[in-house]
Structure 1
Amino acid sequence: MSKPLKQIHLAAHFPGVNNTTVWSDPAAGSHIEFSSFVHFARTAERAKFDFLFLAEGLRLREQGGRIYDLDVVGRPDTFTVLAALAAVTDRLGLTGTINSTFNEPYEVARQFASLDHLSGGRSAWNVVTSWDAFTGENFRRGGFLPQEERYSRAKEFLATAHELFDSWRGDEIIADQVTGTFLRDAKAGAFVHQGQHFDIHGRFNVPRSPQGRPVVFQAGDSDEGREFAAAGADAIFSRYSTLKEGQAFYTDVKSRLAAYGRRPDQLLILPAATFVLGDTDQEAAELAREVRRQQVSGATAIKHLEFVWNRDLSAYDPEGPLPEVDPVVSEDHISRGRAQVRMYRDPVAVAREWRQLAEANRWSIRDLVINTGNRQTFIGSPRTVARTINDFVQADASDGFILVPHITPGGLDPFADKVVPLLQEQGVFRADYEGTTLRDHLGLAHPDADAEAGSRTSASPARAAS
Structure 2
Amino acid sequence: MSKPVKQIHLAAHFPGVNNTTVWSDPRAGSHIEFSSFAHFARTAERAKFDFLFLAEGLRLREQGGKIYDLDVVGRPDTFTVLAALAAVTDRLGLTGTINSTFNEPYEVARQFASLDHLSDGRAAWNVVTSWDAFTGENFRRGGFLPREERYSRAKEFLTTAHELFDSWQGDEIVADRETGVFLRDAKAGAFVHEGHHFDIHGRFNVPRSPQGRPVVFQAGDSDEGREFAASSADAIFSRYAALDTGRAFYTDVKSRLARYGRRPDQLLILPAATFVLGDTDAEAEEIAREVRRQQVSGATALRQLEWVWNRDLSGYDPDGPLPEVDPLPGEHTVARGRAQVRMYRDPLATAREWRELAAANGWSIRDLVIHTGNRQNFVGSPDTVARTIDAYVQADAADGFILVPHLTPGGLDEFADRVVPLLQERGVFRADYEGSTLRDHLGLDHPDGARGKRAAS
TM-score, length of structure 1 as denominator length? 0.94
Partner of 2:131: 131
**Alignment pair present for 1:269 and 2:269:** yes
Go from structure 1 to structure 2 and tell me whether the alpha carbon gap of 1:328 and 1:230 turns closer, same or farther (over 3 Å shift): same
Shift of 1:69: 3.2
Go from structure 1 to structure 2 and tell me whether the alpha carbon gap of 1:201 and 1:391 turns closer, same or farther (over 3 Å shift): same
**Tell me, what secondary structure is at the counterpart of 2:416?**
helix
In 1, Cα distance between the equivalents of 2:150 and 2:177? 45
| Number of positions where the alignment pairs a residue of Structure 1 with one of Structure 2 | 450
Residue pair 2:241, 2:398 contacting (<8 A) in 1 also: no
In 1, Cα distance between the equivalents of 2:206 and 2:250? 36
- Mind listing any 5+ residue stretches in structure 1 that lack a counterpart? 451-466
In 1, Cα distance between the equivalents of 2:69 and 2:340? 25
In 2, Cα distance between the equivalents of 1:177 and 1:294? 68
Q: Within 5 A, what are the aligned runs for 1:172-251?
A: 172-174=172-174, 182-251=182-251
Residue pair 1:10, 1:402 contacting (<8 A) in 2 also: yes
Partner of 2:436: 436
Go from structure 1 to structure 2 and tell me whether the alpha carbon gap of 1:436 and 1:285 turns closer, same or farther (over 3 Å shift): same
Partner of 1:383: 383
Go from structure 1 to structure 2 and tell me whether the alpha carbon gap of 1:193 and 1:319 turns closer, same or farther (over 3 Å shift): same
Partner of 2:29: 29
Residue pair 1:331, 1:342 contacting (<8 A) in 2 also: no
In 2, Cα distance between the equivalents of 1:92 and 1:209? 17
The one-letter code of the counterpart of 2:352 is R
Residue pair 1:22, 1:407 contacting (<8 A) in 2 also: yes
Partner of 2:351: 351
Partner of 1:399: 399
Q: Within 5 A, what are the aligned runs for 1:251-330?
A: 251-330=251-330
Residue pair 2:173, 2:185 contacting (<8 A) in 1 also: no
Go from structure 1 to structure 2 and tell me whether the alpha carbon gap of 1:417 and 1:179 turns closer, same or farther (over 3 Å shift): farther
The one-letter code of the counterpart of 1:280 is T
**Tell me, what secondary structure is at the counterpart of 1:448?**
coil
Residue pair 2:69, 2:300 contacting (<8 A) in 1 also: no
In 1, Cα distance between the equivalents of 2:235 and 2:368? 34
Residue pair 1:332, 1:339 contacting (<8 A) in 2 also: no
Residue pair 1:65, 1:336 contacting (<8 A) in 2 also: no
Go from structure 1 to structure 2 and tell me whether the alpha carbon gap of 1:52 and 1:261 turns closer, same or farther (over 3 Å shift): same
C-alpha root-mean-square deviation of aligned residues, in Å? 1.7
Shift of 1:184: 1.2
- Mind listing any 5+ residue stretches in structure 2 that lack a counterpart? 451-457
Go from structure 1 to structure 2 and tell me whether the alpha carbon gap of 1:291 and 1:66 turns closer, same or farther (over 3 Å shift): closer
Residue pair 1:17, 1:57 contacting (<8 A) in 2 also: yes
Shift of 1:64: 2.4
Shift of 1:251: 0.3
Residue pair 1:64, 1:336 contacting (<8 A) in 2 also: no
**Tell me, what secondary structure is at the counterpart of 2:250?**
helix
Residue pair 1:331, 1:339 contacting (<8 A) in 2 also: no
Shift of 1:340: 13
Partner of 1:166: 166
Deviation by residue 1:73-114 (Cα, 9 ceiling, x = unmatched): 121100000000000000000000000000000000000000
The one-letter code of the counterpart of 2:22 is V
In 2, Cα distance between the equivalents of 1:329 and 1:299? 23
In 1, Cα distance between the equivalents of 2:203 and 2:56? 28
In 1, Cα distance between the equivalents of 2:103 and 2:120? 25
Partner of 2:454: none
Which has the larger displacement, 381-390 or 309-318? 309-318
Residue pair 1:133, 1:338 contacting (<8 A) in 2 also: no
**Alignment pair present for 1:104 and 2:104:** yes
Q: Identical aligned pairs, as a percentage?
A: 87
Deviation by residue 1:234-285 (Cα, 9 ceiling, x = unmatched): 0001111221110000000000000000000000000000000000000000
**Tell me, what secondary structure is at the counterpart of 1:237?**
strand
Partner of 1:120: 120
Go from structure 1 to structure 2 and tell me whether the alpha carbon gap of 1:179 and 1:367 turns closer, same or farther (over 3 Å shift): farther
Shift of 1:418: 0.2
Go from structure 1 to structure 2 and tell me whether the alpha carbon gap of 1:223 and 1:306 turns closer, same or farther (over 3 Å shift): same
The one-letter code of the counterpart of 2:327 is P
Shift of 1:65: 3.8
Partner of 1:411: 411
**Tell me, what secondary structure is at the counterpart of 2:40?**
helix
In 1, Cα distance between the equivalents of 2:59 and 2:116? 27
The one-letter code of the counterpart of 1:211 is Q
**Tell me, what secondary structure is at the counterpart of 1:324?**
coil
**Tell me, what secondary structure is at the counterpart of 2:271?**
strand
In 2, Cα distance between the equivalents of 1:139 and 1:230? 30
Partner of 2:88: 88
**Tell me, what secondary structure is at the counterpart of 2:96?**
strand
Residue pair 2:83, 2:115 contacting (<8 A) in 1 also: yes
Shift of 1:70: 2.8
Shift of 1:185: 1.6
Shift of 1:66: 3.7
Go from structure 1 to structure 2 and tell me whether the alpha carbon gap of 1:339 and 1:99 turns closer, same or farther (over 3 Å shift): closer
In 2, Cα distance between the equivalents of 1:167 and 1:2? 44
Shift of 1:354: 0.5
Go from structure 1 to structure 2 and tell me whether the alpha carbon gap of 1:179 and 1:12 turns closer, same or farther (over 3 Å shift): farther
Shift of 1:186: 1.5
Shift of 1:341: 6.7
Deviation by residue 1:298-345 (Cα, 9 ceiling, x = unmatched): 111111000000001111111111111000112142123569974421
Which has the larger displacement, 239-248 or 93-102? 239-248
**Tell me, what secondary structure is at the counterpart of 1:131?**
coil
Which has the larger displacement, 172-181 or 406-415? 172-181
**Tell me, what secondary structure is at the counterpart of 1:120?**
coil
The one-letter code of the counterpart of 1:223 is D
Which has the larger displacement, 326-335 or 263-272? 326-335
